[in-house]
Amino acid sequence: GENVEQHPSTLSVQEGDSAVIKCTYSDSASNYFPWYKQELGKRPQLIIDIRSNVGEKKDQRIAVTLNKTAKHFSLHITETQPEDSAVYFCAASSGGANNLFFGTGTRLTVIP
Amino acid sequence: NAGVMQNPRHLVRRRGQEARLRCSPMKGHSHVYWYRQLPEEGLKFMVYLQKENIIDESGMPKERFSAEFPKEGPSILRIQQVVRGDSAAYFCASSPVVQGNTEAFFGQGTRLTVV
């Protein structure tokens, strides 16, 4: 089965700096890679996703890169703000939403 | 569209009791997934259901846990004879009937505490 590893488990950055979270996956059949943000006590919410036919996707301050050969993908947040503080989960899937395998999460703290 | 609705939000059960967690998917979604999240951990897939069918239950513990998604009404995750280790947040997600990969929309979760 798929195994998704996520690093780091905690990350603190100064407001305005960039944050990078990295994930690796094991199943070469995986072709969908979403990122979820979960604020304390709330539901995970999709913030960006990427499919295997592209190498990079950007949405304002958030970007995701995918290296299929190396089986890793990364989340980049630029110009971080305190409201970016949350736990971020990466996931990989080969068969749609029913086959989502999540990483263990990264707790991001943006220091004002 | 009210989104994925889960209830209750918080549930306290004594050891040995039964816990019933409910999930109403988003309107138009016929795929439901249940995930468990232990404190400080990621989301673990438990079961995938469509109306009246269990499609994939590879993440469900073999005993005490069951799930259903009837033709009418919400999906139910049932935990019988709960133990302390069942304490966790249980999230339900739903997705529409579409080809290929699609986003899973999560509910607010039910936080189960076994005392």
**B25 has a chain A CB within 8 A of its CB:** no
Range with the lowest mean pLDDT among A27-31, A94-98, B52-56, B74-78?
A: A94-98
CA distances from B48 to A27, A67, A68, B52, B93 (A): 20, 29, 27, 11, 9
* pLDDT (0 to 100) of residue A86: 96
* pLDDT (0 to 100) of residue B97: 67
Q: Which residues of A touch B107 (CB under 8 A)?
A: 43
Residue contact B103–A45, C-beta within 8 A: no
Side chain identity, residue A63? A
CA distance B81 to B78: 10
Higher pLDDT, B113 or A41: B113
Q: Which residues pair with B12 in a beta bridge?
A: B113
Mean of all residue pLDDT scores within chain B: 90
CA distance B82 to B110: 15
Higher pLDDT, A99 or B66: B66
Nearest CA in chain A to B36: A102
Residue to test with chain A: of B43, B46, B58, B98, most A Cβ within 10 A: B43
* pLDDT (0 to 100) of residue A98: 62
pLDDT in tens, A67-94: 999 999 999 999 999 999 999 999 998 8
Average pLDDT over residues B67-83: 96
Q: Which two tokens stand for residue B58?
A: 């590879």
Q: Find the CB nearest A96 among B43, B101, B108.
A: B101
Nearest CA in chain B to A37: B106
* pLDDT (0 to 100) of residue B98: 58
pLDDT category at B28 given cuts 50, 70, 90 is confident
Residue contact B101–A6, C-beta within 8 A: no
DSSP designation for B83: -
Range with the lowest mean pLDDT among A53-57, A92-96, B85-89, B109-113?
A: A92-96
pLDDT in tens, A38-71: 998 888 999 999 988 889 999 999 999 999 999 9
* pLDDT (0 to 100) of residue B1: 55
CA distance B19 to A4: 30
* pLDDT (0 to 100) of residue A15: 97
Q: Which residues of A touch B35 (CB under 8 A)?
A: 102
User: Is residue B40 pLDDT above 80, yes or no?
Assistant: no
pLDDT category at A96 given cuts 50, 70, 90 is low
Q: How far is A81 from chain B (nearest CA, A)?
A: 23
**B18 has a chain A CB within 8 A of its CB:** no
Pairing of strands B88-96, B110-114: antiparallel
Q: Are A100 and A34 in contact (CB under 8 A)?
A: yes
Nearest CA in chain A to B34: A98
Most confident of A22-36, B10-24, B48-62, B91-105: B10-24
